[in-house]
Amino acid sequence: MSLTDLRDELTARLGRDGLVTDPAHLRTYECDALTGYRVVPALVALPRDAAEVAAAVAACAKHRVPFVARGAGTGLSGGALPVADGVVISLQRLRRVVEVDPVDRRATVEPGVTNLDISRAAAKYGLYYSPDPSSQQVCTIGGNVAENSGGAHCLKYGFTVNHILAVDVVLPDGTATRLGGDAPHQAGFDLLGAFVGTEGTLGIVTSVVVRLLHTPATVRTLVANFDSTKEAGDAVTAVIAAGIVPAAIEMMDNLAIQAVNAAVDAGFDPDTAAALIVELDGPADEVEARFADLTRLCAKATGVTIARDAEHRAKIWQGRKAAFAAVGRLSPNYFVQDGVVPRTRLGEALTRIAEMGDEAGIQVANVFHAGDGNLHPLVLYSEERGEHERAEALSTAIAELCVELGGSLSGEHGIGTDKACSMPRMFSADDLDTMRRLRAAFDPEGLCNPGKVFPTPRLCGERPGPYRPHPLEAAGVIERL
Amino acid sequence: MRPVSLAELRDAVRDTDGTLLVMGAGTAEGWAGAPDPTDHVLETTGLTGVIAYNPADMTVAVRAGTPLTTLQQELADAGQRICLDPARTEATIGGLVATADSGPLRHAYGGPRDLLIGVTVVLADGTVARSGGHVIKNVAGYDLGKLLCGSFGTLGVIAEVVLRAHPLPPASRTVSILCDAAEAVTHTGLVLEARLEPAALEWCDGELLALYEGVESSVERRATATPGGTTLSVADAEAAWRRVTAVSDRDLVVRCGTRPSQLAVVAKHATSMTSSAAVGVHTLGVTDVDGLRAEFPQVTVLRSPPGIQAWGEPHAAVPLMRAVKQRFDPDGRLGPGRYRPWF
């Protein structure tokens, strides 16, 4: 491996303005939105098109230098953390909307296009791109593909993987291929489905074909206040059990509401213990009938506000989507967790998290996708007061609690660097080895975003965490052979 | 071999030598290339039954040899269903995943890959591996379940799957719009633009069928509001949907994915055809597979008489498929002959 040779080769191929080599400038790439992990890369490549991405990857492969793809750097799990002595390949210059096809209801875009810009480009046809991560104004579709991003409205409409028809990929040896096709039917294995959500470890996407949906005929949104997060959680369970599939059900606890109210005038009741945002969409009469059921199921609510119009609804969502950033007003530092629990165990999970926070002497705010059990506990701490380690331990314990309750370490933020060491809590060595077989098929040299997703001795210490039986195993639901 | 537990299945794979053909109900035996004779046939029909079902979570874990109809009956008692309606109702859940099969509900719900949230698989060397889990939203680790969709028993033996369930709709209506293949594209656009949200929109041999599901008042109104449509009686609707499944009974049947607007071009190759018109997934009887493949590369041969080559020219991702096969089944134990000539 020779970085000097690689730099010369990349300069020749991408030009001087296609490469970042200045140490101060390189530092701006040292982390993504998980800022606790920082590594300055040796070089940053700024390709302009798919051919330049392929050339950059081929050069890295030739010199056996690891590389990490990067979109907007909004990832919350350290998935775009650079590798020391490695290259970051930024997709920020690939930001063309290549085609919006209203007849076949799809758009072809480059990976650096933001999530929201796809919907903006489709809006004149009454179409939109459905998955809506809270960072959708800035996060890129390439990053969404890497992380299989979710969002508030994925409960009814599904996640990124359900909305991608095809991707052009530069494989880790520099060759280009296409996964997927013109329709969901693929001749062969579902390599597209297997690829989406692999956190940039199998290749770099240079073009994405997304499905577009017609905007719904009617949307109705309510905010219901509850005396406790448990009562709000019970209401979520009741709504789901009644056979209603809302477009979204979100929950915020009092701490999160306080933060949001300080940042955005969204009109949330500052005194309520918990608030649910529930949205139904679809044909008008369907929505009206279900909305009546919904208000009945929120009988224990201490107050219900129904969005008056589109503007009011937008305000509510602006408040919800600003929650992570707003929490910065409550606390100088915080960790965001992303664990998932079965929907029927929401109340239990919230109670346990509150207890764990009390024990650690650390505040935890909750704002999350209640409908699919995807928690986002915000662990609030102060670096200055030396709380970092305690907060990090609490944050990890919360993620592992979700596994213990029969859920998952991550619903949408990814494993990345952040949760790689917790993977043995959820998966056996055989599970992880089998996943590594897929990785090896795509990237036998292990150059593409190494050190992410899978626990490594370097990251996690020589010994992985002790094996503990999965709760479903303890309950006899699954067997460990 | 007919194991009745995960442990027996694992032992059956690990403690035998030679090639293995994985077989569920046998309803798709010839799909994707007739398998060569193997040293063993591994039947999954002994691996049946629900492992865990909590209706309030709307997820169900089931052994792979369970027939879809059996599972649907069990879920119906709790007012739920799996939104998967393939023509082969007697097929096993594992078989449906391995063949990536689906029916008209793919319009609203996708296929097995979109409903599968967890999987347990036994690899050719006896390794038992899980991915996913029991929650609908989960990005921890690679999604091996999706990889197995369309693997036709060549990557591993699917032992258990966890699926997302949906509520059974309280009411439904089927509307018929008589139209040719070219008009079907226009009518599809009209139904979608009117925001009528059909659960299925299927064109079958001269008739576009729109299925509405939801509350009684809404499905009735949407049926009436369908441009150019006639609401079918219950009996007529059942007959119409039977015509859709009957396309799969032809001697030579393929499934093909195209841009939805290509429906009429695909139809020119068909002796009989049913298409999810907004999705671009077509199931058709053909006489000349190569003619269809020359125009549309994404073709899978389902039923076929002997002598038909199941796969055409290798597409761009076939080298990757081979690399995956090499890592998962380096000795080529599982399903030899399938995917010929790609493997």
CATH of the domain at B82: 3.30.465.10
d(CA B156, nearest CA chain A) in Å: 11
Q: Mutate which of B57, B120, B137, B215 to disrupt the A interface (most A C-beta within 10 Å)?
A: B137
Q: End of a domain among B167, B184, B202?
A: B167
Q: Is A9 on the interface with B (CB under 8 A)?
A: no
Q: Quick: pLDDT tens for A290-317.
A: 999 999 999 889 999 999 999 999 999 9
Confidence of residue A108 (pLDDT cuts 50, 70, 90): very high
Residue of chain A with shortest Cα separation from B132: A408
In chain B, the number of structural domains is: 2
Cβ-defined contact of B130 to A478 (cutoff 8 Å): yes
Kindly list the residues from chain A whose CB atom is less than 8 angstroms away from the CB atom of residue B54: 342, 344
What is the reported pLDDT for A325? 84
A3-90 — its CATH code? 3.30.43.10
Contact yes or no for B143 and A193 at CB 8 A: yes
CB contacts of B222 in chain A (<8 Å) are 283
CB spacing of B328 vs A432 below 8 angstroms: no
Determine the distance in angstroms separating the CA of A180 from the nearest CA of chain B, rounded to an integer: 9
β-strand partners of B59: B54, B164
State whether the Cα torsion A434-A439-A444-A447 is positive or negative.
Answer: negative
Note whether B26 and B79 are same-domain residues: yes
Quick one: pLDDT band at residue A465, thresholds 50, 70, 90? very low
pLDDT in tens, chain B (343 residues): 999 999 999 999 999 999 999 999 999 988 998 899 999 999 999 999 999 998 999 999 999 999 999 999 999 999 999 999 999 989 999 999 999 999 999 999 999 999 999 999 999 999 999 999 999 999 999 999 999 999 999 999 999 999 999 999 999 999 999 999 999 999 999 999 999 999 999 999 999 999 999 999 999 999 999 999 999 999 999 999 999 999 999 999 999 999 999 999 999 999 999 999 999 999 999 999 999 999 999 999 999 998 899 999 999 999 999 999 999 999 999 999 999 999 9
| Same domain? B239 vs B143 | no
Does residue B155 lie within any of the structural domains?
yes
Hey, what's the torsion of the CAs at B338, B13, B9, A472, to 10 degrees?
Answer: -100
B207 and B124 part of one domain: no
Whole-number Å distance between alpha carbons of A50 and A52:
5
Label residues B209-222 b or e (16+ Cβ within 10 Å = b).
bbbbbbbeebbbbb
- Please answer yes or no on whether B141 and A154 come within 8 Å at the CB atom: no
Distance (Å, whole) CA A174 – CA A168:
12
Q: Inform me whether the pLDDT recorded for A443 exceeds 90.
A: yes
State whether residue B108 is helix, strand or coil: helix
* B129–A179 CB contact, under 8 Å: no
Predicted confidence at residue A477, as pLDDT, reads 60
Q: Tell me whether residues A282 and B197 touch, CB distance under 8 A.
A: yes
Alpha carbon of A175: minimum distance to chain B alpha carbons (Å): 10
Q: Is B109 left (phi over 0), alpha (psi -120 to 50) or beta?
A: alpha
Among A145, A179, A185, most B C-beta atoms within 10 A, so best to mutate, is A185
Among residues B135, B152, B167, which one ends one of the domains? B167
CATH topology of domain A220-404: Vanillyl-alcohol Oxidase; Chain A, domain 3 (3.40.462)
Give the pLDDT of residue A330: 87
pLDDT score, position A210: 98
The letter for the amino acid at A394 is L
Q: Residue B56 is nearest to which of A341, A344, A406, comparing CB atoms?
A: A344
Question: What band does A321 get if pLDDT is binned at 50, 70 and 90?
Answer: confident
Residue B65 and residue B141 in one domain: yes
Kindly state whether A445 is in contact with chain B, defined as any CB-CB distance less than 8 angstroms.
no
pLDDT band at A104 (very low <50, low <70, confident <90, very high): very high
Chain B neighbors of A104, CB-CB under 8 A: 259-261, 280
Q: Flag whether pLDDT at A139 surpasses 60.
A: yes
Q: What is the pTM of this model?
A: 0.96
Q: Which residue of A has its CA nearest to B167?
A: A243
Q: What is the pLDDT of residue B205?
A: 97
Q: Which of A190, A191, A412 sits opposite B139 (nearest CB)?
A: A412
- Would the CB atoms of A407 and B128 count as touching at under 8 Å? no
Amino acid identity, residue B311? W
Calculate the dihedral angle through the C-alpha atoms of A11, A16, A19, A25, rounding to the nearest 10 degrees.
140
Q: Using the 3D structure, point to which of B167, B184, B216 is the last residue of a domain.
A: B167
A359 reaches B (C-beta below 8 A): no
Which candidate from A196, A374, A427 shows the least CB-CB separation from B141?
A427
pLDDT at A462 over 80: no
**pLDDT attached to residue B10:** 98
Taking residues A154-165, report their average pLDDT: 96
Mean pLDDT of A409-420: 96
Radius of gyration for the alpha carbons in chain B, expressed in angstroms and rounded? 20
Query: How far is B247 from chain A, CA to nearest CA, in Å?
Result: 17
For residue B32, give the nearest of B310, B281, B320 by alpha carbon: B310
CB contact under 8 A, A191 and B100: no
**pLDDT bucket at A36, cuts 50 / 70 / 90:** confident
In this structure, how many other beta carbons lie within 10 angstroms of the beta carbon of residue B276?
27
Cβ proximity of B264 and B181 under 8 Å: yes
- B58, B139, B160: residue with CB nearest A197: B139
Nearest CA in chain A to B7: A481
Outline where DSSP puts E strands in chain B.
20-23, 40-43, 50-54, 59-63, 80-81, 116-122, 128-132, 157-164, 166-167, 171-178, 200-204, 207-214, 230-231, 253-257, 270-276, 281-286, 299-301
- Minimum-distance CB partner of B146 among A194, A406, A407: A194
Say if residue B150 is in the same domain as residue B195. Answer: no
Residue of B14, B59, B102, B139 to mutate when probing chain A, most A C-beta within 10 A: B139
Element housing A364 (H / E): strand A364-369
Which of A477 and B61 is assigned the larger pLDDT?
B61
Residues of A in contact with B182 (CB under 8 A): none
Question: Distance, in angstroms, between A88 CA and closest chain B CA?
Answer: 23
C-alpha A224, offset from chain centre: 26
Mutation for B interface: A154, A177, A182, most B CBs within 10 A = A182
Position A271 confidence tier, pLDDT thresholds 50, 70, 90: very high
d(CA A336, CA A318): 19
What value does the mean pLDDT take over residues A445-453?
Answer: 97
Kindly state whether residues B27 and B160 are assigned to the same domain.
Answer: yes
> CATH 3.30.43.10 residue ranges in chain A?
3-90
Q: Does A419 touch chain B (CB under 8 A)?
A: yes
Please check whether residue B343 lies inside any domain of the structure. Answer: no
- The DSSP-derived string for B238-284 is HHHHHHHHHGGGSSSEEEEE--GGGHHHHHTTEEEEEEETTTTEEEE
- B204 and B110 within one domain: no
Q: What is the DSSP letter of A269?
A: -
pLDDT at B228: 95
Query: A217–B197: do the CB atoms touch at under 8 Å?
Result: yes
Mean pLDDT of chain A: 93
Residue B74 is predicted with a pLDDT of 97
Q: Do B58 and A240 touch (CB under 8 A)?
A: yes
pLDDT on residue A479: 61
B135, B212, B313: best mutation site toward chain A, by most A Cβ within 10 Å? B135
**Residues B231 and B94 grouped into a single domain:** no
Asked whether residue B49 falls in the same domain as residue B190, the answer is no
The DSSP H or E segment spanning B135 is none
The least confident of A87-96, A320-329, A331-340 is: A320-329
Q: Which of A182, A187, A340 sits opposite B135 (nearest CB)?
A: A340
Q: Which residues contact B233 (CB under 8 A, 6 or more apart)?
A: none
Answer yes or no: do A477 and B111 touch at CB < 8 A.
Answer: no
Set of chain B residues whose Cβ sits within 8 Å of the Cβ of A184: 106, 110-111, 257, 279-281
Domain A97-214 in CATH 3.30.465.10? The answer is: yes
Task: Using DSSP, state whether A236 is helix, strand or coil.
Answer: helix
Task: Judge if B157 and B20 occupy the same domain.
Answer: yes
Which domain range does residue B275 map to? 171-301
Chain B residues close to A187, C-beta within 8 Å: 257, 297-300, 311, 315
Q: Give the residue-averaged pLDDT of A42-54.
A: 98
Cα–Cα nearest to B55, from B76, B84, B69, B73? B76
Q: What pLDDT does A265 receive? A: 86
- The boundaries of every CATH 3.40.462.10 domain in chain A are 220-404
CATH code (residue B188): 3.30.70
Contact with chain B for residue A414, Cβ under 8 A: yes
Q: In B, which residues are within 8 Å of A126 by CB distance?
A: 193
> For residue A28, what are the contacts with CB-CB under 8 A and spacing of at least 6?
none
Alpha carbons A424 and A408: distance in angstroms, whole number: 12
pLDDT of residue A464: 45
Query: What would the mean pLDDT of A402-420 be, rounded to a whole number?
Result: 96
Torsional class of A209: left (φ above 0), alpha (ψ -120 to 50), beta (otherwise): beta
What is the full DSSP assignment across A365-432? EEEEEGGGTB--EEEEE-TTTT-HHHHHHHHHHHHHHHHHTT-BS-SSS--TTTSGGGHHHHS-HHHH
Mean pLDDT, residues A190-204: 98
Mutation target to probe the A interface, by most A beta carbons within 10 A, among B54, B62, B142, B197 is B142
Q: What is the pLDDT of residue A472?
A: 60
Q: Which residue(s) pair with A380 in the sheet?
A: A334
pLDDT > 70: percent of chain A: 96
B163/B192 same-domain check: no
- Predicted confidence at residue A35, as pLDDT, reads 87
Same domain, B14 and B163: yes
Is B337 inside a domain boundary? no
> B87 vs A188, A456, B326, CA distance in Å?
20, 46, 32
pLDDT of residue A469: 56
> How many residue contacts between A and B have a Cβ separation below 8 Å?
281
